Amino acid sequence: MQYRALGRTGIKVSPYCLGAMMFGGIGNPDHDECIRIIHKALDFGINFIDTADRYSAGESEEIVGKALKGRRDKIVLATKISGPMGEDPNQQGTSRRWIMQEVDNSLRRLQTDCIDLYQIHRPAPDTDIEETLSALTDLMRAGKVRAIGSSTFPVSEIVEAQWSAERRGLARFRTEQPPYSILDRGIEFDMLPTCERYGMGVLVWSPLSKGMLTGRYRKGQPLPDSLRVRYMPRQMSDARSLEAVEQLIPVAEEAGVSLTHMAMAFVMAHPGVTSAILGPRTMQHLDDLLAGAEVRLGDDVLDRIDEIVPPGTDAGLNEAAYRPPAILKSDLRRRPAGARAAA
């Protein structure tokens, strides 16, 4: 295993990061099987695990904590905060109040005394970034957190966070976790160059575009019965994505690799990517992903992929991507009717 630098933290991580979103009630409720999956990944040489408090309402963190007993010191452990953890409006977000409370909950579930990488899962537009960075800085000084990062932040908010940290003498985000795949290449436009400029490691999620790049979802064929279809039916039936998949399949066949392995190798070929997050739900999923770990793509294959999905563009819909309030709320992008009429 060739380990990579996690930004400029000095921490070394494996090119594959084991994502734990599918461990627990939302994906695989069998704790023993999930633990076996984690152990197989660690035995393969993966030393990087990423989870979040909100994954199955904390159950994922509990599974990871049980799996790491006796092996914690050799693992770079990452988790995230900001999603709702209850009906109380203060049990979510990135306020100092919630961060200071929830970090202890995560530490307890993970059965550890320190989190290697503590990430803000999504931006919180109602909270000053200095409030968040100040709380995270105090956690680092208290020894509860070793490094901090962001996840699915717009480029503008990454830059604002970096400047705020410098102005106020606060800890700064050392990593960003954006979506990236052959079908989701928008981060090549400015996200990846920005992260490189600030020395941030990049941990990309959904390198298989929610499974669209496994070959299970085909144009003109019935959608399989899957968790993705149940939770994200629009994305899994997106016409542009399915059309791109049909063009990518023969490229993989001519290269002598599966579509899944080509998709993973594509992500890992970008010099700005530190680790790609694998999200297996079953042992079979993990075995298939690990089988392609040594696949490398030549320039001819990468050039053909560029022709199908041009660099810096997204081929289709990503329902899990961050959408700011200005997009979600029509009243933030429309003047009152009376004002429009007067104009």
Q: Classify each residue of 45-66 as buried b or exposed e, where b means 16 or more C-beta atoms within 10 Å of its C-beta.
A: ebbbbbbbbbbbbbbbbbbbbb
Q: Which of 119, 125, 130 is nearest to 96 (CA)?
A: 130
Rounded Cα distance, 194 and 184, in Å: 17
Residue of 16, 55, 180, 217 with catalytic role: 55
CA distances from 15 to 65, 78, 107, 226 (A): 22, 15, 25, 27
Task: Say whether 55 is catalytic.
Answer: yes
CA distances from 235 to 89, 183, 318 (A): 29, 11, 6
Rounded Cα distance, 259 and 40, in Å: 23
Rounded Cα distance, 150 and 178, in Å: 9
Chain mean position to CA 267: 13
* Residues with catalytic roles: 55
